[in-house]
Amino acid sequence: MLRLELVDISKQYPSVKANDRVALRVEPGEIHAVLGENGAGKSTLMKIIYGAVRPDEGEIRWNGAPVQIATPAAARALGISMVYQHFSLFDTLTVAENVWLGLDRSLPLAEVTQRIRKVAGVYGLEIDPLRPVHTLSVGECQRVEIVRALMSEPKLLILDEPTSVLTPQAVQALFVTLRKLAAEGCAILYISHKLDEIRALCHRCTVLRGGRVTGVVDPTGQSNASLSRLMIGAEPPQLQHREAHAGEVVLEVRELSLTRDDPFGTSLDRISFDLRAGEVLGIAGVSGNGQQELMRALSGEDVRAPRGSIRLFGNDIARDRPRRRRRQGLHFIPEERLGRGAVPTLSLAQNTLLTRTGAVAASGWVHTGAVTELAATLIRRFNVKAGGPGSAARSLSGGNLQKFIVGREIDADPKLLVVSQPTWGVDVGAAAQIRGELLALRDRGSAVLVVSEELDELFEICDRLVVIAQGRVSPSVAVADASVERIGEWMSGLWHGAAPAGSMELGHAAA
Amino acid sequence: MLRLEARPEPSRAMSMASPLIALAITVVIGTLLFVVLGKDPLRGLGVFFVEPLKGAYALSELAIKATPLLLIALGLAACFRSNIWNIGAEGQFVLGAIFASGVAMQATKDTGHWIFIAVLAASVVGGMLWAAIVAFLRDRFNASEILVSLMLVYVAEQLLNYFVYGPWKDPHGYNFPQTVTFLKSTQVPRLFDTYRINIGAVGALVAVGAFWVLLFRTYAGFQLQVGGLAPAAARYAGFSARRALWTTMLVSGGMAGLAGGLEVAGPLNQLTPHVPAGYGFAAIIVAFVGRLHPVGIVFSAILMSMFYIGGELSQSRLGLPQSLTGVFQGLLLLALLACDTLIAYRVRWRTGVAGAAATSSSASPPAASAPATSELDDAPLSPVVATSALPARKGS
Amino acid sequence: MDQAALLIAATLNSGTVLAFAALGLLVNERAGIVNLGAEGTMLVAAVAGFAVAVHTGSDWAGFGAGALAGALLASAFGVLVIWLNTNQYATGLALSLFGTGFSAFVGQPFTQQRLAERASFHVPGLSDLPFFGPALFRQHPMVYLAIAMTAALAWFLYRSRAGLVLRAIGESPESAHALGYPVRRIRLLAVAFGGALCGVAGAYVSVVYTHLWVEGMIAGKGWIALALTTFATWRPARVLLGAYLFGGVTMLQFQLQQSDGFHVPGIAGAVQVPSQFLTMLPYLATIVVLVLISRNATFIRVNMPASMGKPFFPG
């Protein structure tokens, strides 16, 4: 008897059909993957199963019997637990209090604390119930979510993109936990777009594309290429990769130490690395290890860096504000699109004024015609699907807005482009275009610094790699010489020479 | 069942219609109020909406009331657009009046008419000074400008009392708390001999144009707006929050001070404890109802003046207390805030079971074919809409 | 000695107003809602309480009316900011402006009226203690109620599950919503309750503290209460202490206004401080308090309910 069966589930939103007659069959004890790119409808489907969204059509069967899942509480009552990609945790409360809040029954806090220790022990999840959540790393936060889900003794556990916040080693540890769970009869729905993981972990895989099921397969018998074909209808686009010819040193970061100004943030510790013209340097690392702080120090949003710690073409820019840095050729693309990279309610034309001031006269007068023209140029050149230069930024899809923002910065012909999470939440087509643009920029002789949590992406477009962990940065390694395992180790801070004082090896680009 | 559904783009039509709908709601409630109080509603509405417009003298009085509201509201619009909440314009108004009086009292029989310029200049300085305290405390100590500027209103009122009950009290004034009547030379020149309207009204209209240019055609204005709409984006762009704070506070303080100076060197001609007439607070409403847009503010200033004059008239014509003004003004703002929701949201009837989940408006990336709206001469943005911009929904 | 005892008693009396108002605002802000309408709410409640007390002759009816008025106004505010997601600051301000005008309008007929002096409640036994008796135990019951409310709120917030839920909502309404809590309903309840407490504070001013109604009689205490909540870093016990501190400042102001002035060594005669400057004292004190507490931005960040003032969109 199937644990969960979805029959002809459909869901229509004003502008898109998120799910179109989707069928899903999950057996007890099965680890079932739901594979699809961003925008394929995975999230909506999970929300339907979890009771956060009602389907327009179709039937849900639980252990053979039809059910209506009206609310998350109803889902939980059936035995469905969900671990979200974005945690529902309260920073200032302890782990135990957080878990307590997620439980339906009213147990005393002390008993909950005890149970947490027990469950954590059984499934190999190290967690201290009395720590406040804001002191936990992102991986530990996820463990709290998983413990919370397990405490309700689920019959079906849904995990939404669980490994984006884990080091490769931690991913393996998670797999061990999941296999144990499955062995006990719990069904697991594993949402992901990471082909290697699905092939390593899952028993079956339902592939979604454009809201429809394109295939239900056994992933162990498939290759990345065949899964990719089901997922996007074609092979993954191949990037033209030319040899790196690294030129002069563009960016020199030396002994960059910076105390965190956010009590829940990470301090930077003597970061040092070089970046040369014509190469792409990647910074790998799990989120929460100082990437945000480093980006702010490089972009100029944080001007407290020690003098001389950041040099652009030999000039000290450590205390310069963003506009000054841009004038010297440093452009930055932040990971948050709406709210930081662009103002949601302003038009695309107005949003160009954030970083492009060509249309502003010395007197401060803004030439609106020129501004609109620039936006139109960007829309054309970077293939942005938008109503026009006058459309509000928030009316664009994530991928298109990112194309616009990336285009805005690349069009400025920067000598150094720093970009954080370039293709996060972006559909495969746009992601390929963006990566292509970054490589083209490199080929024109600019230096590119990419921070990304997706190791695959870094291996695809970078020439060299460093790893950031707990506010420190590793020595660099050429991508050709690196391996996922080694980088994974480094993500835990375990690189050789990770000792105090200037014994850091600075890698130079292997030509 | 009524549901709110987010619009992909803020509706420009609603942005302009919202104040009108709010006015309509206020009128309806006002009518009910008159009925409940046993007064003829048509007469009541007439007192507020018709009488203040009847005749040249009435229009002149309207302009006199509207001028300070307009001036203060322009400055506040710049502040609120930048998300700086200067609530203490009333205090800056009072300081402007005090400084203006100080200079005005220096005039002697032989002083030329030029002194009114010095009087007004002093009032601007006074207002700026009072606002500078707020800016400093926020800049240096992160103290809430809302509470500090408000506390300073009470302090300013006491300061005013000190002067008119103390060192500046007119020795020949029968012990009334007031200063001497200022000499004619200090008065702001009138536009016409028979009416009280003075060149302040003209100055206010010039200011409207200046503010429009500043907010919508200069980079400085753009920076202010971004600072209010998306502070993280402003930081990313490198716009200085400190500069925005000082600029808007000093400008709004100066405008409020100027309004105070115009009152004291214009219709009032002396300093009394009744100088704080609540213009600083009413201007907040004027600014919002005018959509924080210089042109809109002209209309809302006239509207609010009508409420003021109507309130004064309702005492003699209807036997109702003057505080009716305050009731209508407050109602108007509340109604406006409620109506503003319609700019960002559509109201939909949803029936049946499937509807219960239809509130999730953020799951789908809206089609890119939505009609273009915001231009650089921006559809006057409501701060209500701006600060509640939809959060970016991640993933699919 | 008697003077000092009376001074302490008066301080407690005066501080009770701020205590109730600030406790109400604390509950609001713990849920993540900033209600700048406190001043207007207190004014309307003052008029309502006074009117009912005059008509019915019962103080407690007056307090009830004040609480009800406060709760109603706050609920209207709550619907606007929680369901329609209007800007919290603008809406609260609108409420204050409306309340100021409305209370003046409705209170017209009551400006000439006066209530009789209230008998204070003597705590049996304790009120006869030397010094401490007159200082602490001969107060109006409301004073003791304020202290009890403080204790109750402290217990609620830190020892009950419901209080934990409230704190969680203030920290992250999105997460609470994801866990299935009815965030908006709980927030409305918090706002209504906070409004009721502000209402009680307002009614206390007109019915007990002054026994009359005057336009604008709250004179900024609503705003001071807002500052007080921040100053107390959202903890009930600290709010009470801060309220008494302010009560003390107010008492100091009255004392100085009545005295013949300071005797400064080296200057012949007494130095008279003009009474207007003394009236400024509570407001200046508020500014000082704000500066002191806001200086450390990190400290505020860690203690402040993170969602305060921000709009929340379920789904």
Residue with tokens 């009392």: B161
CB-CB under 8 Å, A400 with B368: yes
C-alpha span between A208 and B91 (Å, rounded): 63
Say yes or no for a CB contact (<8 Å) between B327 and C101. yes
Q: Where are the domains of chain A?
A: 4-232, 249-491
Q: Categorize the per-residue pLDDT at A67 as very low, low, confident or very high, splitting at 50, 70 and 90.
A: very high
User: Which residue would you say has higher pLDDT here, C138 or A215?
Assistant: A215
More confident: C236 or A209:
C236
Q: Cβ separation of B334 and C80 shorter than 8 Å?
A: yes
Closest B-chain CA to C282:
B151
The answer, for A269 touching chain C at a CB cutoff of 8 Å, is no
Angle in degrees, CA A227, A44, A68, rounded to 5: 120
Of A379-383, B88-92, B374-378, C125-129, the range with the lowest mean pLDDT is B374-378
Residue among C40, C80, C223 minimizing CB distance to B151: C223
Predicted complex: ipTM over 0.85: yes
Asked whether the domain spanning A249-491 has the same topology as the one spanning A4-232, the reply is yes
Interchain contact, B230 vs A321, CB within 8 Å: no
B395 phi and psi angles, rounded to 5 deg: 70, -165
Structure tokens at A20: 């179109």
Residue from the list C161, C171, C179 with its beta carbon closest to the beta carbon of A92 = C171
The whole-number average pLDDT for the span C171-186 is 90
- Once rounded to an integer, what is the mean pLDDT over residues B290-308? 93
CB contacts < 8 A, A to C, total: 51
* Cα A195 from chain centroid (whole Å): 16
Q: How far apart are CA A402 and CA A412, in angstroms?
A: 16
> What is the spatial distance between Cα B71 and Cα B259, in angstroms, rounded to a whole number?
6
Question: What is the structure's pLDDT at B123?
Answer: 96
Mean pLDDT of B213-222: 95
Pairing of strands A330-333, A464-469: unpaired
Instruction: Note the pLDDT tens digit of each residue in C63-105.
Output: 999 999 999 999 999 999 998 888 899 899 999 999 999 999 8
B25 or B193, greater pLDDT: B25
Q: Which residues, listed in sequence order, are joined to residue A26 by a DSSP beta bridge?
A: A4
In chain A, the percentage of residues whose pLDDT exceeds 70 is 95
- Higher pLDDT: A438 or A496? It is A438
Interchain CB distance below 8 Å, C301 and A263: yes
pLDDT in the model for residue C47: 94
Cβ–Cβ of C301/A262 closer than 8 Å? yes
Residue B230 pLDDT exceeds 90: yes
B14-345 adopts what CATH topology? ABC transporter involved in vitamin B12 uptake, BtuC (1.10.3470)
Contacts of A438 (CB under 8 A, 6+ apart): A280, A406, A417, A419, A422, A448, A450, A461
The pLDDT confidence band at residue A405, using thresholds 50, 70 and 90, is: very high
Residues of B in contact with A47 (CB under 8 A): 360, 363
pLDDT above 90 covers what percent of chain B?
Answer: 47
How far apart CA A90 and CA C196 sit, in angstroms, is 28
Strand partners, A192: A35
Choose from A230-244, B178-192, B237-251, C93-107 the range with maximum mean pLDDT.
B237-251
Amino acid B356: pLDDT:
35
Task: Name the one residue in this structure whose structure tokens are 């004027």.
Answer: B286
3-state helix/strand/coil string of A316-349: ECCCCCHHHHHHCCEEEECCCCECCCECCCCEHH
Please give the residue that has the higher pLDDT: either C234 or B392. Answer: C234
Residues of C in contact with B387 (CB under 8 A): 87, 311
Distance from CA of B358 to the nearest CA of A (A): 8
A497 touches chain C (CB under 8 A): no
Q: How many CB atoms lie within 10 A of CB A135?
A: 12
Q: Do B232 and A339 touch (CB under 8 A)?
A: yes
Q: Which residues contact A63 (CB under 8 A, 6 or more apart)?
A: A1, A2, A3
> Strands, DSSP E only, in A342-400?
none
Number of CB atoms found within 10 A of residue A184's CB:
11
> How close is the nearest chain C Cα to the Cα of A93, in Å?
8
Strands (E), A125-279: 156-160, 187-192, 204-209, 212-217, 249-258, 268-276
SS3 assignment, position B307? helix
Domain A4-232 falls under CATH 3.30.465.10: no
Residue A239's pLDDT is what? 67
Looking at B49-63, B141-155, B255-269, which range is the least confident one? B49-63
Mean pLDDT across A428-453: 92
Q: What b-and-e string marks burial along A320-359, b requiring 16 or more CB atoms within 10 Å of the CB?
A: bbbeebbeebbbbbbbbbbbbbbbbbbbbbbbbbbbbbeb
Cβ within 8 Å, pair C175-A71: no
Check A345 against B386: CB less than 8 A apart: yes
Q: Going by C-beta distance under 8 Å and a sequence separation of 6 or more, which residues neighbour residue C288?
A: none
Other Cβ atoms closer than 10 A to C174: 16
- Per DSSP, the residues of B319-359 read ---TTHHHHHHHHHHHHHHHHHHHHHEEEEE--SSGGGGTT
State the average pLDDT over residues C173-199: 93
Could you tell me if C23 and C193 are in contact, meaning their C-beta atoms sit under 8 angstroms apart? Answer: no
Partner residue opposite C168 with nearest CB, options A76, A90, A263: A90
**Mean pLDDT of all residues in B53-72:** 90
Query: H or E stretch including A465?
Result: strand A464-469
> Which C residues, 33 through 52, put their C-beta within 8 Å of a C-beta on chain B?
36, 40
Neighbouring subunits of A (3+ Cβ pairs under 8 A): B, C
Distance from CA of A505 to the nearest CA of B (A): 32
Contact yes or no for A280/A244 (Cβ under 8 A): yes
Instruction: For residue A162, give every residue at least 6 positions away whose Cβ sits within 8 Å of its Cβ, in sequence order, or none.
Output: A83, A85, A142, A174, A190, A192
Domain boundaries, given as residue ranges, for chain B: 14-345
Residue B121 in contact with residue C272, Cβ under 8 Å?
no
Q: Which of B216, B225, B235, B236 to mutate to test the interface with A (most CBs of A within 10 A)?
A: B236
CB A346 within 8 Å of CB B376: no
| The CATH fold of domain A249-491 | Rossmann fold (3.40.50)
pLDDT in tens, C264-312: 666 666 677 788 898 999 999 999 999 998 888 778 878 889 899 888 8
Residue of chain A with shortest Cα separation from C314: A52
Report for A100-114, A350-364, C5-19, C272-286: range of highest mean pLDDT: A350-364
For the ranges B37-51, B72-86, C284-298, the maximum mean pLDDT occurs at B72-86
Q: How many angstroms separate the CA atoms of A354 and A357, rounded?
A: 8
Residue B360 has pLDDT above 50, yes or no: no
Does residue B331 register a pLDDT over 80? yes
| Strand-strand pairing, A447-452 and A477-478 | unpaired
pLDDT for B369 beyond 70:
no
Collect all residues of chain B within an 8 Å Cβ-Cβ radius of residue A37. Answer: 396
pLDDT number for residue A242: 66
CB B124 within 8 A of CB B258: yes
- Going by C-alpha positions, the residue among C224, C79, C236 that lies closest to residue C147 is C236
* Among C286, C297, C311, beta carbon nearest to B151: C286
Q: Identify the DSSP state of A192.
A: E
Query: For residue B78, which of B196, B265, B210 has the smallest C-alpha distance?
Result: B210
Backbone angles phi, psi at A499, to 5 degrees: -100, 160
User: Is A381 at the interface with chain B, CB within 8 A?
Assistant: no
Q: How many helices (H) and strands (E) does chain A have?
A: 16, 21
Structure tokens at B157: 């009122």
Q: Which residue stretches of C213-274 are H helix?
A: 221-231, 236-258
pLDDT band at A343 (very low <50, low <70, confident <90, very high): very high
Query: What mean pLDDT comes out for the span B262-281?
Result: 88
Confidence tier at C8 by pLDDT (50, 70, 90): confident
Contacts of A52 in chain B (CB under 8 A): 357, 360
Q: Tell me phi and psi for residue A301, to 5 degrees.
A: -70, -20
Q: What pLDDT, in 10s, does the model give residues A451-492?
A: 998 888 898 899 999 999 989 999 999 988 888 888 888 887
- The alpha carbon dihedral of C132, C137, C138, C142 has a sign of positive
**What predicted TM-score, i.e. pTM, was given to this entire model?**
0.86
Give the model's pLDDT for residue B2.
64
Question: Contact, B27 vs B382, CB < 8 A?
Answer: no
B238 touches B170 (CB < 8 A): no
For B362, the closest of C97, C104, C315 (CB atoms) is: C315
Q: Which of A59-63, A192-196, B254-258: highest mean pLDDT?
A: B254-258
Pairwise CA distance, residues A209 & A204, whole Å: 17
Burial of A486 (0-12, 13-18, 19+ CB in 10 A): middle
Judge whether residue B33 has pLDDT over 70: yes
pLDDT at B172: 83
Inter-axis angle of helices A168-183 and A138-151, nearest 10? 10
Q: State the number of CA atoms in the 13 A half-sphere of B80 facing the CB.
A: 32
More confident residue, C2 or C93: C93
Distance CA B71, CA B261 (A): 12
Nearest Cα to Cα of residue A47 among C60, B125, B395: B395
* DSSP 8-state assignment for residue A124: T
d(CA B328, CA B315): 15
- Which one of B227-236, B372-381, C9-18 scores highest in mean pLDDT? B227-236
Per-residue model confidence (pLDDT) at position A508: 31
Q: How far apart are CA C218 and CA C197, in angstroms?
A: 15
Which residues 81-100 of A have a C-beta within 8 angstroms of C?
84, 87-93, 97, 100
State the pLDDT confidence band at B93, using cuts at 50, 70 and 90. Answer: very high
**Residue A88 pLDDT > 70:** yes
Alpha-carbon distance C143 to C137, whole Å?
10
